[in-house]
Structure 1
Amino acid sequence: MRRIWQESEKVIHSFIDDNASGIATAAQKIAEAFAGDHRLFLCGNGGSAADAQHLAAEFVNRFQLERPPLPAIALTTDTSVITSIGNDYSFDEIFAKQIKANGTDGDVLLAISTSGNSRNVVEAVKVAARRGIYTIGLLGGEGGDLKSLVNLALVAKCRVTARVQEAHILAGHIICHLTDYILFEKHLQGL
């Protein structure tokens, strides 16, 4: 048990050291999208899908600060859409088609993949880029294919999925906190 905790701590410290400014940039880009009446889309598979839904809930409901709901949409939640696209076309298209239908210039896509190689996440990022959507990758390992495709890559340099996921959800919580600060608290600091 102690070894697992120590591994987690090491990955998280390294991730934050490598990505602190990138995490702040991610929050700034998301805050700018919300301030401009745009949306945040999130996608991922398995545990990363759960992280996408978790973070969308933090934005729509609230994180820690009482504030108005923010327009965040997890592309992982509509089983009818996902299964119809997967059945009629390809599982690789389940997020990309949703971006084609709903994404517009000025939105942000937070793409979560512990390998950086999930085909359906890669396809979503490609479509988002063509639509003028700013893309952020929460990635693992060396960043995979997504590292060179996203506008901003936040990479937990580890190949153990659980450790990468732990770093990702911490980064997600920090992004939520900073976004709330930028939108709702920063202007109060000068009073």
Structure 2
Amino acid sequence: MTVESHLDGLTDTLAGVRAQSSRIHRWGASLARLLVSGGRVLAAGNGGSAAEAQHLTAELVGRYRDDRAPFSALALCSETSSVTAIANDYGYDQVFARQVTAHARPGDLVVLLSTSGRSPNLLEAVHAARLAGATTWALTGPLPNPLAALADDALALPGDACHVQEAQLVVVHALCEAFEAALPSSVRRAS
């Protein structure tokens, strides 16, 4: 692969992001309603997708663009003691499901990021979220994949894993744009 062919592939994946802009706007508005009403976001992924799950929660707890109130968001993949203890005692397939069971409340949102959509630990997290009464969103690579099929809603992107990985950051930022735009003005000005 050359630099040019890599960038061409990324261009195709980003076109897939643009094609999903209405879903991103819808997710942003839904996220604003949820968090303003006191709900929380739990996010998880493996590898680079774990980094993007952390990025998303950091933007929600901190801020994306505008100064505003902080919101409840946890990146389950960054709970290293929990991840390692659960993996040791229950197996790696349970590292997120067990945390979802512990933290998710009815109406909360669980966001799962995966370039393949096939990670067993994320699939188990969907099942745990369903039992907890939480909604699940999946951000995945190409369809079909089991994670997109199981989640309540999914944003699936075309392309190789590396391009999907890169585009996840774009989706996170676009979602934060839509989220902050949907916040009531009283919340946007809060500090």
Query: Where do 1:24-173 residues align within 5 Å?
Result: 24-158=25-159, 160-173=160-173
Q: Percent identity?
A: 34
TM-score of the aligned structures, taking structure 2 as reference length: 0.92
| Correspondent of 1:16 among 10, 18, 40 | 18
2-side partners of 1:157 and 1:54: how far apart? Answer: 22
For 2:9, the equivalent position in structure 1 comes to 7
Q: What is the identity, as a one-letter code, of the residue corresponding to 1:113?
A: S
2-side partners of 1:127 and 1:121: how far apart? Answer: 10
Task: Tell me which stretches of 4 or more aligned residues in structure 1 moved more than 3 Å.
Answer: 184-188
Post-superposition offset of 1:29: 2.1
Unmatched 5+ stretches in structure 2: none
Aligned in 2, Cα 1:13/1:186: closer, same or farther, shift over 3 Å?
Answer: farther
Counterpart secondary structure, 2:154 = strand
Residues 9-30 of structure 1: per-residue CA shift (max 9 Å, x gap): 121112321x222212221221
2-side partners of 1:186 and 1:68: how far apart? Answer: 10
Residues paired across the two proteins, number: 186
Post-superposition offset of 1:185: 4.4
1-side partners of 2:25 and 2:186: how far apart? Answer: 14
Q: What is the identity, as a one-letter code, of the residue corresponding to 2:181?
A: Y
Post-superposition offset of 1:148: 1.3
Residues 25-72 of structure 1: per-residue CA shift (max 9 Å, x gap): 221221121021010110000000000011111111110111111111
In angstroms, what is the RMSD of aligned CA positions? 1.7
Question: In the alignment, does 2:182 pair up with 1:182?
Answer: yes
| Larger RCO, structure (CA 8 Å, separation 6 or more) | 2
2-side partners of 1:119 and 1:186: how far apart? Answer: 41
Unmatched 5+ stretches in structure 1: none
Counterpart secondary structure, 1:84 = helix
1-side partners of 2:145 and 2:32: how far apart? Answer: 27
Aligned in 2, Cα 1:7/1:93: closer, same or farther, shift over 3 Å?
Answer: same
